[in-house]
Amino acid sequence: MAVEPLIELRNVNKHYGSVHVLQDISLTVGRGEVVVVIGPSGSGKSTLCRTINRLEPVESGTILLDGQPLPQEGRALARLRTEVGMVFQSFNLFAHKTVLANVSLAQVKVRKRGKEEADKRSRELLERVGLLAHAEKYPAQLSGGQQQRVAIARALAMDPKALLFDEPTSALDPEMINEVLEVMRQLARDGMTMVVVTHEMGFARYAANRVVFMADGRIVEDRTPEEFFTAPESERAKDFLSKILKH
C-alpha cells in the first residue's frame, strides 16, 4: 500500500520486570489508515498503544510520528502528545469539571485558544458526538457510553493527526457499545488515522483497513480484515478466533 506513513515503530522492545511485553515490534500506520490491534489479554496490545504517545517509555527501538522521532520527557514530548489523541478504557474524564470544561480545558491551557473560541469548538464537537445537550453536566451524571463519547470529543479538540483507542468499549454495558462504535466508524469514514485496541470483532471486520494480531508480545499477523477473519495463517490466530467467534 503506497500510503504516507504517519506512525512508525521500528524494533521496539519493552519489559515489565522479567516479562518481555513488546518483542521487536515493527509497525507502520499510514495517514488516514484505521489499524485494529486484537489479541488475547496480556499479549501487549495495550502497551503497544500506550508507547505511541510515550505513556509507556520503551527500552529500545524507535518510534516516529510524522517522520519525527518521539522526544524524551519535557516540553517537546508535551507538544507531540497534542498531535496524538488518546481514548482510554476507563474514560478518564476530569471528574471535577463539566463536560464542556473537559473538552475545552486543554485547548485553553495547551493550544492557547481563547475561552470563547475553545468553548465554541467544544460545542461543535459535542454536537458531533451527540451530546451537546449534556454540556453543563458532570461526568458522573452521564452513562459510560456518553462519557466515552465526551472523551473522544476531548481528544478531537486538540485537532490531532491520529487517535489511539485503548479498549474504548471494554468497560461499557453491551447496549452502550454501539453508540461509541458509531462515533468511531464516523471518524474512520472522515479519514482520521486511528489505532484501535479492541475486542469488537465487528468493528475490526468492517471499519478497519488492517488487522494486527498480537500474541505474547509479538505481532503474529498483519493483514486486511477480510483475509484475517476468513483465512488466518497462524495457529495462534486460528485458536483465538475459534474461541471468540463461537458465541
Partner 1 sequence: MNVLTDNLSLYGKGLLGTVELTVYGSLLALALGFVMASFRVAPVGSLRVFGTAWVAVLRNTPLTLLFFAVLLGLPRFGVVLPFQLFAVLALGCYTSAFICEAIRSGINTVPTGQGEAARSLGMSFGQTLCGIVLPQAFRSVIPPIGSTLIALAKNSAIAGAFSVTELLGTYKTLNELGYSIIWSFVWIAVGYLIVTLTISALFNVLEKRWGVAR
* 105 near partner 1, judged by CB under 8 A: yes
Q: Is the Cβ of residue 86 or residue 219 nearer to partner 1 in the bound state?
A: 86
CA angle, 45 as apex, 179 and 226 as ends, to 5°? 65
Out of 9, 37, 155, 192, the only residue in the binding site for partner 1 (CB under 8 A) is 155
Out of 14, 45, 81, 134, the only residue in the binding site for partner 1 (CB under 8 A) is 81
Instruction: Fill in the per-residue mask, 59 to 78: x = in contact with partner 1 (CB under 8 A), - = not in contact.
Output: --------------x-x--x
Out of 86, 184, 192, 194, the only residue in the binding site for partner 1 (CB under 8 A) is 86
Out of 20, 55, 185, 201, the only residue in the binding site for partner 1 (CB under 8 A) is 55
Contact predicate 55/32, CB 8 Å: no
Q: Is the Cβ of residue 14 or residue 154 nearer to partner 1 in the bound state?
A: 154
Alpha helices in the chain (DSSP H): 45-51, 75-81, 99-109, 115-128, 144-156, 174-189, 201-207, 225-230, 235-244
Q: How far apart (Å, rounded) are the C-alpha atoms in residues 49 and 67?
A: 18
Which set of grid coordinates corresponds to residue 142?
452521564
Contact predicate 5/162, CB 8 Å: no
Q: Is the Cβ of residue 165 or residue 213 nearer to partner 1 in the bound state?
A: 165
Tell me the closest approach of the beta carbon of residue 57 to partner 1, in angstroms.
Answer: 12
- Between helix 99-109 and helix 144-156 the angle, nearest 10°, is 20
The DSSP H or E segment spanning 65 is strand 60-65
- Beta-bridge mates of residue 29: 7
Out of 53, 104, 146, 198, the only residue in the binding site for partner 1 (CB under 8 A) is 53
Q: Is the Cβ of residue 4 or residue 159 nearer to partner 1 in the bound state?
A: 159
Number of H helices and E strands in the chain, helices first, is 9, 10
Coil vs helix vs strand at 235: helix
* 110 near partner 1, judged by CB under 8 A: yes
* 94 near partner 1, judged by CB under 8 A: yes
Out of 58, 93, 100, 207, the only residue in the binding site for partner 1 (CB under 8 A) is 93
* 96 near partner 1, judged by CB under 8 A: yes
* 178 near partner 1, judged by CB under 8 A: no
Tell me the closest approach of the beta carbon of residue 219 to partner 1, in angstroms.
Answer: 23
